Structure 1
Amino acid sequence: MRTRRIAILIDGGYFLKRLPKLVDAGFCTTPEQIADSARFLCKKHVLRLTGMDSQAETDGRWLDQVYRLFYYDAQPYTGKTHHPIENRPIDFDKSDTAQFRRDLFAQLRRKRKFALRLGHVAQDGGWQIKSRHTKDLLKARKWANTLDALVGDPQNAPAISEADQRELTNLLDRWKALSPEAAYFGLRQKGVDMRIGLDISSIALKKHADTLILVTGDSDFVPAAKLARRESMEFIVDPLWQKVSDDLYEHVDGIISVYPRPANG
């Protein structure tokens, strides 16, 4: 059996998005389940590459073939703001999402050979309305002059036809029924992709591993993949059955997903 040194790099945000499409809820609901699913993914890749037997899967010998297992994500956003629709304060640091991420990171730290690489989340544009609601917002501009006249000089305001009244009433009803979920606070991960690229380069240049598996669907890592292959590394991408660009196909040694293929996407 060929002895390998395998490094597996998981784009955490991508993994969390795709995992519910690949496994039952019982494997992706709690932080413990998600951490176990990440480890299972890594194990399946190592067993496929090495051809190790089921006993190696059971007793953990598959990890002897591993240089390191990297998980990339961002520390939760800790700022405070005020919801524009619900008119209530929001402390992101105390949110369920933030606590879930922290619990997940704690679980991953307990896994043998896992290493966390964490960027940060920064504010990106403040409160925004989801795109499907912007059409109603733009329609409201049509009535700006009419509403201005009704407020400033109601005696001389222009008459509104029955059809216009119905349209305006319908528009107002939709705005009154606007749910809190229609607005979202713009946030963006920073430093995650950079950490992935730096680790790929470091592993390749320092010869820490001979095989690298990147779990992502992002073609932005093509330059790093090209560098790794120039350094004689085998570079494999697992997009978790998501379609990837032709550019990514061209510059890696294989597109391989080890979870069962989902029935619908």
Structure 2
Amino acid sequence: MIRTAILVDGAFYRKRAYHLYGDKSPAERADELEWYCKRHIREEHNEKCSLYRIFYYDCPPMDKKVYHPFLKRQIDFGKTPDYKWATEFFKELTHKRKFALRMGRLAEEQAAFNIRPNITKKLCNGSLNFDQLTEKDFAIDVKQKGVDMRIGVDISSLAFKKQVDRIILIAGDSDFVPASKQARREGIDFILDPMRAPIKDDLFEHIDGMRTKAPKLSNATSTK
């Protein structure tokens, strides 16, 4: 029996899931996440796998007031639909069997509204003027703290304590590479699921394989 831990970069999953499966309620997204992760266990018919635990990494939603330069007023993020949605979503996950939430925090003190990069490019090349800007051309910029560290610590702990035989990481960047190297040296089968997002070619040398349960974009309208 292959003992398997599934680690989920929450911000990455929610963004990709929205792109692949569309908008959903907190309960529906939580059920979808559970269903998606467990497909990695039950659909490998040539292997006998058991689920050790699903580790979910994210940050609580921001409840700070941030000045919006276009609207010229403060936006109270604690009263936004996104805040309510995320709070309910995390609550749903705490009720899921074999789920463990690992929460970092947002660098709220550095949060600010910035012009979106594609809009900045248009401003610089002259295809858009400042007086043509709209509210949608601005986006909140706030960084996560502690999420990557928690992923790395858990990968190392699972490997050194021999708690699992395989780690499946649902993520899309290269921040996990040092931890994956450690895990592989300890004999862990390290699988990456980027949910069909493009990844850098050099990442392949630091994993034991890539496997995804995400649908191809042409078939992304249905989850089952």
TM-score, structure 1 normalization: 0.74
Matches within 5 A, 1:89-168: 89-123=74-108, 124=110, 126-134=112-120
Q: Kindly state the Cα deviation for residue 50 of structure 1 after the two structures are TM-superposed.
A: 5.7
Go from structure 1 to structure 2 and tell me whether the alpha carbon gap of 1:43 and 1:132 turns closer, same or farther (over 3 Å shift).
closer
Residue 223 (structure 1) aligned to one of 165, 178, 186: 178
Q: Kindly state the Cα deviation for residue 183 of structure 1 after the two structures are TM-superposed.
A: 2.6
Q: Secondary structure at the match of 2:180?
A: helix
Q: Secondary structure at the match of 2:163?
A: coil
- Does the CA-based 8 Å contact 2:65-2:77 persist in structure 1? yes
The one-character-per-residue Cα deviations of 1:7-50 (angstroms, maximum 9, x if unpaired) are: 00011111111113333x3xx51111111111111111001346
The answer to whether the aligner puts 1:44 opposite 2:39 as a matched pair is yes
- Does the CA-based 8 Å contact 2:66-2:111 persist in structure 1? no
The one-character-per-residue Cα deviations of 1:30-72 (angstroms, maximum 9, x if unpaired) are: 111111111111111001346589xxxxxxxx8xx21110111
Q: Which shows bigger deviation, 28-37 or 233-242?
A: 28-37
Q: Which amino acid aligns with 1:21?
A: H
Q: Secondary structure at the match of 1:67?
A: strand
Q: Secondary structure at the match of 1:220?
A: coil
The one-character-per-residue Cα deviations of 1:159-186 (angstroms, maximum 9, x if unpaired) are: xxxxxxxxxxx98xx4334212223332
- Does the CA-based 8 Å contact 1:219-1:247 persist in structure 2? no
Go from structure 1 to structure 2 and tell me whether the alpha carbon gap of 1:88 and 1:213 turns closer, same or farther (over 3 Å shift).
same
Q: Which amino acid aligns with 1:36?
A: D
User: Aligned partners of 1:102, 1:203: CA distance in 2, in Å?
Assistant: 28
Q: Kindly state the Cα deviation for residue 242 of structure 1 after the two structures are TM-superposed.
A: 1.6
Structure 1 match to 2:140: 185
The structure with the largest alpha-carbon Rg is 1
TM-score, structure 2 normalization: 0.87
User: Aligned partners of 1:29, 1:49: CA distance in 2, in Å?
Assistant: 27
Structure 2 match to 1:250: 205
Matches within 5 A, 1:23-42: 23=21, 25=22, 28-42=23-37
Q: Which amino acid aligns with 1:10?
A: V
Q: Kindly state the Cα deviation for residue 139 of structure 1 after the two structures are TM-superposed.
A: 8.7
User: Aligned partners of 2:208, 2:121: CA distance in 1, in Å?
Assistant: 45
Over aligned residues, Cα RMSD in angstroms?
Answer: 2.6
- Higher relative helix content: 1
Q: Which amino acid aligns with 2:13?
A: F
User: Aligned partners of 1:194, 1:46: CA distance in 2, in Å?
Assistant: 26
Q: Kindly state the Cα deviation for residue 129 of structure 1 after the two structures are TM-superposed.
A: 2.2
User: Aligned partners of 1:91, 1:99: CA distance in 2, in Å?
Assistant: 12
